[in-house]
Amino acid sequence: MSYSGDENGFFGEFGGAYIPEMLQPNVLELRGHYLKIIESPDFQVEFKSLLRDYAGRPSSLYFAGRLSEQVGARVFLKREDLNHTGSHKINNTLGQILLAKRLGKRRIIAETGAGQHGVAAATVCALMGLECVVFMGALDCARQSPNVERMRMLGAEVREVRSGTQVLKDATNEAIRDWIAHPLDTHYIIGSTVGPHPYPDMVARFQSVISEELKQQLTEQIGRETPDYILACVGGGSNAMGSFYHYLDQPSVKLYGVEAAGEGLTSGRSAATLALGSKGVLHGSCIVLMQTRDGQVEEAHSASAGLDYPGVGPQHSYLCKSGRAKYVSVTDDEAFAAALQLTRIEGIIPALESAHALAYLGKLGAAANEVVVVILSGRGDKDMAAYLEYQKKQGG
Amino acid sequence: MAISNRLTRLFSESDRKLLSIYFTAGFPGLQDAPLLCQLLEKNGVDLIEIGFPFSDSLVDGPTIQAANECALKNGMTLELLFKQLENIRSLVALPLVLMSCVNPLLSYGMQRFAADCSRVGLDGVIIPDLPPEYMEPYRGFFEERSLSTVFLVTSHTSPERIRMIDRLSSGFIYAVSSDATTGNYLEVGERQREFFRRLSEMRLTNPFLVGFGVSDAKSFERVSEYSRGAIIGSAFIRALSNQGGLEEKVQSFIGSLRSPKP
């Protein structure tokens, strides 16, 4: 079975490009050029040198000894939090900005939830001297204000989105509407493995550097390139796709995507799309999405702005259906507790998104000699207000 | 595609510039759709597009987004809309086209949707985020019931693609006036005129109507010089949002566009 999708961007029944005619020129241009450009030697040279010298890759693979003791397995952390800008998002924005330049674009738009992708987009625009507009839900602007300030300092215009539910889904709508209004000079840097073909495939390729490095680093550290488990949080799914990418055809590696259950799967306030959703079309792609029985998109809920999305990318929709990867969920409170635990025993403050992957460690049931890689997709600076609030509630 | 219905007859029989009005079902009041159709007919409109609201429409600007949100809050569903339109053909003779994003239709079931459109007497559908290539599995459902399928083209659509869309269309082609979502102010500049001229000179099987940004008598007249007519949506929704009764609001807005049929 192939997991790379067909030429029209379908992964089984999921994916494709369900877009209005107004978006066809933008998407057709991208589709016609992206593979040729990113496979060209000059692109690869520039991309790799920026990943190394600018983003600080390879990100380290750290054996978390004290965490391993508590969990009862051999736990390694893939430290995407150590990248420049503080998350895995920079891998994708560096790739896309090089692509945008080669397509002759002079204006960049992006959507953001937690602000990590927005910061990464604003960063590469500053680096390349391109105009940058970031769409961010008004609610997210409020709960992730340090990132709003970072984007502005980097020279980006942050547009607070007040339509719909004022979170990531709505920021994505507004970015796409802006793209409709600027079909020629603008490139849309989507931050996750969502959106119309070729975005899910393209973003997965740029993020696949995570699993490429993992193979090498595991070989060096444990003598084989395959772990027993990979655990990654899933909103749209980019850090998970990047870390699964080179292991998809190796069934001995058990792949786990951890979604945000919010206040609980049955609470009505959750973002665990693959647990609660059904097949539908959102943001130009056929995916699993949370919707009413009338086909209206439901509001997602997660304390983590980066996972607060009622859909999940087409590859994950497919990997879930085919059974190749397993998707589970943890609640807001479990994620907070896991973030605090990692901070206290390893001295690493993780992003609240990444804390979802950590929170599932205890439920994984891995044996003492089994190797578990957790993708630490980002650092927690942006979540300080939420963490302090949580600790206050806990009386600690 | 040779289909005969009220829509195709309108284009073959009428020689005046055609005015199509779009409104969102369930807005401003949940039950308003049938009455709005009657009032639009009475005031001399030629064709009606009934919009079904979607929570995340990519093509719509703030005005129609707000109307969609309001309609959904009011409780609009496809089941309810078809119930409301049950007797529409005893009230209204105009061609009626239903416009909706694809997701609610997939959820309802495309075949069931086509069957219900046909049962209540609609003439066609516009599904803006279902590209013509993706219509293939569903085309038969509409064709066999003589329902027109209308697709959009823009000034960036290539000639080959326009020809392909022309082959798959029946009724008319929806020419999107400008690079924007619905409801933006339209300046009919050289680029628009060139686009409309180019479309006319292609001698397509289907006539075209211009939509997006057409808002008043002046813009209606300007774009009609180059087309069979135009579609007005957001400006009508804005008019419906004003104070007052539906009847006066429809009469005064449509009256401002052109005088009613004698």
The DSSP string of A276-316 is: H-EEEEETTEEEEE-B-TTSPBPPP--SSGGG--SEE-HHH
pLDDT of residue B180: 83
Output the six-digit token pair for A2: 């192939």
B55 vs A: CB within 8 A = yes
Determine, yes or no, domain membership for B238.
yes
pLDDT of residue B260: 47
Q: A169 to each of A109, A319, B59, B160, how far by Cα in Å? A: 15, 22, 15, 34
- The span from the CA of A314 to the CA of B80, in Å, is 31
Residue B141 sits in which domain range? 18-255
Taking CA–CA distances from B184, the nearest residue in chain A reads A181
Q: Are the beta carbons of A183 and B56 separated by less than 8 Å?
A: no
Determine, yes or no, domain membership for B12.
no
Domain boundaries, chain A: 20-50+89-203, 56-87+208-394
CA B248 to chain CA centroid, Å, is 22
Determine, yes or no, domain membership for B8.
no
Q: Closest approach of chain B CAs to the CA of A162, in angstroms?
A: 10
Say which residue, A147 or B189, is predicted with more confidence: A147
The reply to whether A56-87+208-394 shares the fold of A20-50+89-203 is yes
Q: Which of A181, A281, A293 sits opposite B129 (nearest CB)?
A: A281
Q: Is position B123 annotated as part of the catalytic site?
A: no
In contact, A37 and A102? CB cutoff 8 Å? yes
In contact, B94 and B48? CB cutoff 8 Å? yes
Q: B257 to each of A80, B22, B42, B172, B184, how far by Cα in Å? A: 59, 14, 14, 21, 18
B4 vs A: CB within 8 A = no
Taking CA–CA distances from A289, the nearest residue in chain B reads B103
Residue B186's pLDDT band (cuts 50, 70, 90): confident
Q: What is the pLDDT of residues B145-169, one digit of tens each?
A: 999 999 999 999 999 999 999 999 9
pLDDT of residue A4: 81
- The span from the CA of A248 to the CA of A307, in Å, is 23
How far does chain A reach from its first CA to its final CA, in angstroms?
50
- The span from the CA of B138 to the CA of A131, in Å, is 42
Residue B122's pLDDT band (cuts 50, 70, 90): very high
Q: Closest approach of chain B CAs to the CA of A310, in angstroms?
A: 12
Q: How many helices (H) and strands (E) does chain B have?
A: 12, 9
- The span from the CA of A257 to the CA of A267, in Å, is 21
Mode of pairing for the β-strands spanning B173-176 and A229-233 = unpaired
A10 vs B: CB within 8 A = no
What integer is the mean pLDDT of B177-203?
A: 88
pLDDT of residue B181: 87
Mutate which of B107, B110, B133, B136 to disrupt the A interface (most A C-beta within 10 Å)? B107
Output the six-digit token pair for B34: 């049938």
pLDDT of residue B86: 98
B154 vs A: CB within 8 A = yes
pLDDT of residue B258: 78
- What CATH number is associated with residue B250? 3.20.20.70
Interface confidence, given as ipTM, is: 0.95
A162 vs B: CB within 8 A = no
What integer is the mean pLDDT of B191-195?
A: 90
Q: Which residues of B140-158 are buried (b: 16+ CB within 10 A; e: fewer)?
A: ebbbeebbbbbbbbbbbbe
- Chain B residue numbers with beta carbons less than 8 Å from the beta carbon of A163 are 62, 65
Looking up tokens 């891995």, which residue turns up? A366
What integer is the mean pLDDT of B204-211?
A: 96
Please determine, for residue B187, whether its predicted confidence score (pLDDT) is greater than 90.
no
Q: Are the beta carbons of A20 and B128 separated by less than 8 Å?
A: yes
Determine, yes or no, domain membership for B10.
no
Determine, yes or no, domain membership for B127.
yes
Q: Are the beta carbons of B106 and A280 separated by less than 8 Å?
A: yes
Q: Residues B32, B49, B123, B166: which is the catalytic one?
A: B49
- The span from the CA of A301 to the CA of A292, in Å, is 15
Determine, yes or no, domain membership for B50.
yes
In contact, B55 and B106? CB cutoff 8 Å? no
pLDDT of residue B259: 54
In contact, B233 and B59? CB cutoff 8 Å? no
Taking CA–CA distances from B73, the nearest residue in chain A reads A296
Mutate which of A194, A296, A298, A299 to disrupt the B interface (most B C-beta within 10 Å)? A296
Q: Are the beta carbons of A181 and B179 separated by less than 8 Å?
A: yes
Quote the strand ranges of chain B, DSSP E: 18-24, 47-51, 96-99, 124-126, 148-150, 152-153, 173-176, 208-211, 229-232
Please determine, for residue B138, whether its predicted confidence score (pLDDT) is greater than 90.
yes
- The span from the CA of B137 to the CA of B121, in Å, is 23
Q: Which of B59, B72, B105 sits opposite A20 (nearest CB)?
A: B59
Residues of chain A with pLDDT under 50: 1
- Chain B segment 72-91 residues within 8 A of A by beta carbon are 72, 77-79
A279 vs B: CB within 8 A = yes
Rounded (5°) CA angle A72-A76-A80: 145
Determine, yes or no, domain membership for B1.
no
Q: Which residues of A154-179 are buried (b: 16+ CB within 10 A; e: fewer)?
A: bebebbbbebbbbbbbbbbbbbbbbb
Residues 6+ apart with CB under 8 A from A308: A113, A140, A167, A168, A235, A260, A271, A300, A301, A302
Q: Is position A393 annotated as part of the catalytic site?
A: no
Mutate which of A177, A278, A291, A309 to disrupt the B interface (most B C-beta within 10 Å)? A177
A73 vs B: CB within 8 A = no
- Chain A residue numbers with beta carbons less than 8 Å from the beta carbon of B116 are none
Q: Closest approach of chain B CAs to the CA of A154, in angstroms?
A: 28
Fold of the domain built from segment(s) A20-50+89-203: Rossmann fold (3.40.50)
Count of domains observed in chain B: 1
- The span from the CA of A133 to the CA of A159, in Å, is 7
Q: Which of A21, A173, A295 sits opposite B106 (nearest CB)?
A: A295
- Chain A residue numbers with beta carbons less than 8 Å from the beta carbon of B106 are 279-281, 295
- The three-class DSSP label of residue B24 is strand
Q: What single letter denotes the amino acid at residue A331?
A: T
The CATH class that applies to domain A56-87+208-394 reads alpha beta
pLDDT, averaged across chain B: 94
In contact, A44 and A201? CB cutoff 8 Å? no
Q: What is the pLDDT of residues B208-239, one digit of tens each?
A: 999 999 999 999 999 999 999 999 999 999 99
- Chain B residue numbers with beta carbons less than 8 Å from the beta carbon of A309 are none
pLDDT of residue A53: 98
Residues 6+ apart with CB under 8 A from B189: none
Q: What is the DSSP string of A41-56?
A: HHHHHHHHHHHHHTS-
pLDDT of residue B262: 43
A107 vs B: CB within 8 A = no
